[in-house]
């Protein structure tokens, strides 16, 4: 299986930065108003505030 460039970047960050935390948000498309049709993103806000 060929990895996407973005997944390769995530893998590299995990190797280089210890204890890094990340979240995946599926089914949003790009995080733009055109894709999401809103300026609200409470899941991201909750992740940042934790």
pLDDT digits (tens, 9 = 90+) for 3-35: 788 889 989 999 999 888 888 888 888 889 999
Residue 1 pLDDT exceeds 70: no
Q: Evaluate whether 40 touches 31 at the Cβ level (below 8 Å).
A: no
For tokens 């995946």, what's the residue? 24
pTM for the model stands at: 0.56
pLDDT higher than threshold 70 for residue 41: yes
More confident residue, 1 or 46: 46
- Select from 24, 21, 30 the least CA-distant residue to 43: 24
- pLDDT recorded at residue 26: 85
At 25, is the secondary structure helix, strand, or coil? coil
């Amino acid at each position: 299986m060929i990895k996407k460039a973005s997944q390769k970047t995530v893998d590299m960050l995990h190797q280089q930065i210890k204890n890094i935390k990340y979240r995946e948000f599926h089914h949003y498309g790009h995080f733009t108003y055109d894709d999401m049709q809103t300026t609200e993103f409470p899941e991201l806000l909750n992740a940042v505030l934790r």
